[in-house]
Each structure stands twice: as C-alpha cells, then as structure tokens.
Amino acid sequence: MKLFKKLILSLIITLSFSTSLIFCQDNIKLVPSGEVVGLDISLKHPYVYQRLTEEAKDLEYGDIILSVKYKLKKAKSIDKINEIMKLKNQDIIVEFSREGKNYIQEMTTDELRMYVLKQDATGIGTITATDENGEFIGISHSIKMASIPIEFNKCDVFETSYVQEIKSYKDRVGSLIANITDKKIGTVYSMGEYGVKGKYDDFKYSKKKALEISTPKKGKAYIYCKTPVTNKLKLHEIEITKVGKKSSEIKIIDEDLIRYRGGAVVGMSGSPIIQDNKIVGGLRSIVIKNPTKGYIANIHSMLYDN
C-alpha cells in the first residue's frame, strides 16, 4: 500500500508512447528549477487505503468515500466517519465513487471497519520553473487516484535533501526516492491536466538565471534535472523527435540518465526542458516498453491550459 503514496504523484506511464494571472504574458521570463520536492496533500474526500481482510469485498482500493449515512447522520470527513465506525454492527449506507461513477452500498459498521480509510496522500515531483513573484509550475501532468484526477483542500510543498533512484528497464519503470525534510517551502493552489501551479513561501528571483519561454522544435534539447549520485542540477541531452500542439515526443541521449536511471523514472515529471537557452516544456511521461523515450508537456500548455 505504501507504493500508492508514491504513484499518486508519479510520472504517468504510457504504453504507446485556476490559471494564475501572473502567467498571462507571452514575454515572461522564468527561472528553470529541476528541484525534486515532497508534496503533502489534504484530500477533499477520504479514500480506501487498505483492506484488512479478504472478506472485505464491498469496497476496492482507491474508492473515494463521498459519505457514510447512519440513521439521520451523514458523515463526509474522515473524523466523522471514524466516529460512526466505532459503533458495533450498525446498518449504514456508504456512497462512494469508483472510476468516475458514483455508487451506494448498504453495509454494517463491522464491515466498514474491515477497511483503512485515509484523507491525505504524499509523494514527490519536480518543479519546472518559477516567475519573479515566486509563482511556480511543475509536475507536467495531472495528479490522479484510481485514474481519476484528485480533488484537494490543501497541498503543502516540502524541501528534499537527497535523491536516489530505482532504475527503469523495459516493461518496468523505476522511480526517484527522495528524503523529504520537515521544511515547508511553498503551497500548490491549482492542479490540472498539464501539472500544478503554486507559490513559494520565500523565493529570490534572479534575472541572470531567468530564461524566455518558447515552442519546442525538433532537434537537440536538454532535461535540466539532478544528476544521479551527485544530485547537482545540470543539463542532460535529449532529442525532441516530434512536436505536437500541446505535448511533444523525446528520446533521452544522456549517458548518465541511461546508465543510472535507464532513461527516465517516476518522480522526474516536471523536469524543465531547455532548448536554444529557452524553456520549452516539462517532462511529462515515458514509454513503458522503452524508458529512454517519452513525452514532454509544451510550456504553453503548462502555463495556459491548466
């Protein structure tokens, strides 16, 4: 079950291959980030985190619990639902969502106690770029639970101290493993199809480091991310092989990324893509059959289509 926390914020794997006003200018310059951060998400609804017994068959892992009704009471928060779960063998009605569809299940409190419910989730992702006001974009894809975009009340961003990796192989995608500190550095206020938007608590903007944004084009480019072992931010060579309207296809060339990560891994999503000294997008997903190939979200999709 611990794997769920990592995958909820993970780089989306493909088999084939509230917008801020701050970002509404085409002539803006952004500071590329590449920093791996931890996210602590308070969800709008509880979800089924674990089944405690094989007899628990009414609900499935990842089901979103919309409400639990007991007599005239209707509980929606995890705390109120837990109060109902303390009752012995009482009839209840559970309203839940699975794969975007809502269902109603008659159960007893004894049956509901066969499940562990949670209303928070944690994970890691990569910040793409930040503007002069400390507003940032990152992740480059939607954050989902059981294939459905999540609804959240709050999402805090935390600093990480060291990043390691589990290598990707054909048909088996690896992941970044990050040590998340207790230092809160920002907040995510928006999640969309092309990533997240948020604001740092304290960000020092550097004009010297800021780059213009541009539309990607076919040819040599770079992923700006932490290099394996040393964790130093550096440019890693890739090739943009096909350009689309909202996303584009890439191939990883860099020897360090291939040697240590097999190409790309879960958690690298959001890593800024630099071409001709301009930010053109963020790493979005990888091809499970060949982790050296993948997709980027074009920078304009991240800025304007979220």
Cα 269 from Cα 286, distance rounded (Å)? 9
pLDDT band at 147 (very low <50, low <70, confident <90, very high): confident
H and E: helices and strands count for the chain: 5, 21
Please check the confidence at residue 51 and state whether its pLDDT lies above 70.
Answer: yes
pLDDT 10s digits, 77-136? 999 999 999 999 999 999 999 988 999 999 999 999 999 999 999 999 999 999 999 999
Give percent of the chain with pLDDT exceeding 70.
91
Give the mean pLDDT of 255-282.
97
Please check the confidence at residue 305 and state whether its pLDDT lies above 90.
Answer: no
Q: What is the pLDDT of residue 149?
A: 82
Identify the H or E element spanning 84.
Answer: helix 78-85
Q: Tell me the pTM.
A: 0.88
**Higher pLDDT, residue 18 or 258:** 258
In sign, the C-alpha dihedral spanning 287, 37, 297, 277 is negative
Q: Where are the domains of the chain?
A: 2-43+120-304, 53-113
Cα 27 from Cα 58, distance rounded (Å)? 54
Amino acid identity at 282: G
> To the nearest 10°, the Cα dihedral for 123, 7, 233, 132?
-60
Nearest to 284 by CA among 126, 99, 123, 122: 126
HSE (side-chain half, CA atoms, 13 Å) at 260:
15
pLDDT 10s digits, 284-302? 999 999 999 999 999 999 9
Cα 39 from Cα 126, distance rounded (Å)? 10
Domain 2-43+120-304 sits in CATH 2.40.10.120: yes
Please check the confidence at residue 6 and state whether its pLDDT lies above 90.
Answer: no
**What is the average pLDDT score of the chain?**
91
Please check the confidence at residue 61 and state whether its pLDDT lies above 50.
Answer: yes
pLDDT band at 2 (very low <50, low <70, confident <90, very high): very low
pLDDT 10s digits, 195-250? 999 999 999 999 999 999 999 999 999 999 999 999 999 999 999 999 999 999 99
Report the length, in residues, of the chain.
306
* 12-14 and 278-287 strand pairing: parallel
Cα 283 from Cα 306, distance rounded (Å)? 16
Q: What is the pLDDT of residue 7?
A: 41
Give the mean pLDDT of 145-152.
81
Please check the confidence at residue 16 and state whether its pLDDT lies above 70.
Answer: no
| Tokens (6 digits) for 78 | 């995890």
Residue 301 gets which letter from DSSP?
H
Q: What is the pLDDT of residue 26?
A: 55
Would you call 297 helix, strand, or coil by DSSP?
strand
